[in-house]
């Protein structure tokens, strides 16, 4: 009886340890990073990666260069995962980024900057980014993403597939500090005034990572823009 209780106690302790304490195995970390690179279409590096078995992982000092030309980095990334979601055919990941930055080298960002003529948009910095990823065999769905900073907020949904095709629907809010830098004829046509210091614009992005197409939607018209 005592032996059985001892075995149960040891198993309980090991289980609790695997759930609540971070682990770090070179092979496991490499596998996770390779899959992340594949899904983000980017080359990834980081300062530290900790895996909490069965529930989450955290990454410090994440950096990436996208194959479509964009660059990004984040001070800290937390990913909560639900392994039971695999029964649906998609792994559910809840992602949270702290102090994330995106760079103008990206075709998507570059096209948006050129259209609105806002140079500060060339390097985007967000205090926080959150969203739900549903990873399948052929594609990845991103739902309810929210990207928030003092000057810009972005909300929407997106999907990417194994052929590097992308589809994004985004609602973008720009603070008046950015809006004031836009030529009057552009902001009067493309932006909708909202409450407080914010103006909004709807953007749809479709096509391939390397050459996406932007579609601007307002109450007055719709405009398609091909990236360079």
The domain spans of the chain are 2-226
Name the band, by pLDDT with cuts 50, 70 and 90, for residue 70. low
The Cα 95–Cα 132 span in angstroms is: 6
Specify whether the CB–CB gap between 182 and 116 falls below 8 A. Answer: yes
Higher pLDDT, 106 or 192: 192
Phi, psi of 58 (to 5 degrees): -130, 145
Determine the Cα angle at 64 with ends 104 and 92, to 5°.
110
Average pLDDT of the chain is: 76
Rounded distance, CA 50 to CA 198, Å?
Answer: 38
pLDDT class of 75 with cuts at 50, 70, 90 = very high
- Over pLDDT 90: what percentage of the chain? 17
Read off the pTM. Answer: 0.77
Length of the chain: 228
Pairing outcome for strands 71-82 and 42-45: unpaired
Of the given ranges (38-42, 138-142, 188-192), which has the lowest mean pLDDT? 38-42
């Amino acid at each position: 009886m005592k032996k059985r209780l001892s075995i149960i106690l040891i198993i309980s302790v090991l289980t609790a340890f695997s759930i609540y304490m971070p682990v770090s195995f070179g092979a496991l970390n490499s596998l996770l990073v390779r899959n992340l690179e594949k899904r983000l279409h980017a080359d990834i590096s980081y300062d530290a990666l900790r895996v909490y078995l069965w529930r989450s992982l955290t990454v410090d000092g994440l950096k990436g260069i996208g194959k479509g030309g964009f660059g990004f980095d984040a001070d800290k990334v937390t990913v909560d995962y639900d392994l039971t979601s695999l029964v649906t055919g998609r792994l559910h990941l809840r992602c949270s980024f702290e102090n994330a930055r995106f760079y103008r080298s990206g075709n998507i960002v570059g096209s948006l900057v050129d259209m609105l003529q806002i140079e500060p948009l060339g390097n985007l910095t967000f205090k926080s980014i959150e969203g739900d990823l549903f990873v399948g065999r052929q594609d990845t769905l991103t739902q309810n993403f929210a990207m928030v900073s003092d000057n810009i907020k972005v909300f929407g949904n997106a999907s990417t597939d194994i052929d590097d095709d992308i589809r994004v629907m985004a609602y973008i809010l720009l603070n008046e500090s950015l809006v004031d830098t836009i030529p009057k004829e552009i902001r009067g046509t493309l932006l909708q005034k909202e409450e407080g210091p914010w103006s909004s614009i709807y953007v749809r992005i479709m096509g391939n990572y390397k050459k996406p197409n932007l579609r601007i939607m307002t109450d007055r018209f719709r405009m398609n823009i091909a990236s360079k």
